[in-house]
């Protein structure tokens, strides 16, 4: 709890973020981070208990960038869209860290804040208890799932590939074994992630209205 520490938690967070941005997740190690900060590896342990906590700091850094209006409007649908879009956009700005966001538990306020706001918007839509839980799981599953899939799903290009290579990958498979995959691989080349996200979310919101009998807009 002393105040004369060599670095601030924010400095550590920023250095870790910069390191991963430059060298990828594989480049993240206690030793590398210490090197970037001009100190010894063991110094990092004055700020985090272990590697898991260091990774938690990275998840927090991404979620801190989630920006939305911050107060409930009269339109719960618009609020759900705004908050989830902000989460998705923040994650997409840091593709290298998405696997950590998806995979590591976080109780950071930066993470729970947007989550609570999303839940509040769904609640204002008329949901509670079990149905609120299911709506939350469906929406947030979609958000994290689609963010991760853009990165490592079957339609995602690997480091060595571009969109044409992805198409070629499915074309080269024996006897056109995967005609539908080939079709959407082609569609994916002309597709915008933004449009995929917003349309997907609209599908879910419409589904919530119909399935849970919420007052509909049309």
* Residues engaged in binding a second copy (CB under 8 A): 99, 102-107, 111-112, 115-116, 119-120, 123, 128-130, 132-138, 140-146, 148-149, 152-156, 158, 169, 177-181, 183-184, 187-188, 190-191, 195-196, 199-200, 202-208, 210-212
Judged by beta carbon distances under 5 to 8 A according to partner kind, the member of DNA, a second copy, none in contact with residue 135 is a second copy
Residue closer to DNA by CB (options 23, 120) is 23
- Please choose, from the candidates 28, 39, 35, 32, the residue with its C-alpha nearest in 3D space to the C-alpha of residue 61: 28
Is residue 158 involved in binding DNA (CB under 7 A)? no
Q: Residue 194: count other Cβ atoms within 10 Å of its Cβ.
A: 12
Let me know: does 216 contact 75? Beta carbons within 8 Å.
no
**Could you identify the residue written with the tokens 């599908």?**
203
Judged by beta carbon distances under 5 to 8 A according to partner kind, the member of a second copy, DNA, none in contact with residue 207 is a second copy
Residue closer to DNA by CB (options 43, 198) is 43
Residues 23 to 82 in contact with DNA, rule: CB under 7 A? 27-32, 39-43, 45-46, 50-52
- Half-sphere exposure (CA, 13 Å, Cβ side) for 32? 16
CA atoms of 57 and 94, how far apart (whole Å): 14
Residue closer to DNA by CB (options 1, 159) is 1
Between helices 30-37 and 51-63, what is the axis angle to 10°?
Answer: 60
153 token code pair: 């799903």
Judged by beta carbon distances under 5 to 8 A according to partner kind, the member of DNA, a second copy, none in contact with residue 166 is none
């Amino acid at each position: 709890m002393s105040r004369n520490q060599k670095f601030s938690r924010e400095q550590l967070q920023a250095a870790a973020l910069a390191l991963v941005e430059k060298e990828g997740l594989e480049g993240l190690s206690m030793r590398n981070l210490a090197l970037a900060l001009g100190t010894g590896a063991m110094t990092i342990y004055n700020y985090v208990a272990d590697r898991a906590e260091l990774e938690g700091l990275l998840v927090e850094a991404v979620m801190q960038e989630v920006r939305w209006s911050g107060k409930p409007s009269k339109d719960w649908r618009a609020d759900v869209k705004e908050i989830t879009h902000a989460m998705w956009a923040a994650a997409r700005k840091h593709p290298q860290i998405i696997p950590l966001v998806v995979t590591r538990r976080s109780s950071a306020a930066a993470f729970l804040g947007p989550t609570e706001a999303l839940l509040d918007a769904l609640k204002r839509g008329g949901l509670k208890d079990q149905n609120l839980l299911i709506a939350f799981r469906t929406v947030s599953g979609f958000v994290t799932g689609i963010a991760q899939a853009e990165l490592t799903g079957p339609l995602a290009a690997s480091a060595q590939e571009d969109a044409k290579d992805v198409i070629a990958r499915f074309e080269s498979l024996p006897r056109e074994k995967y005609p539908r995959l080939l079709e959407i691989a082609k569609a994916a080349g002309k597709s915008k992630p933004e449009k995929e996200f917003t349309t997907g979310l609209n599908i879910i919101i419409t589904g919530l209205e119909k399935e849970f009998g919420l007052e509909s807009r049309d």
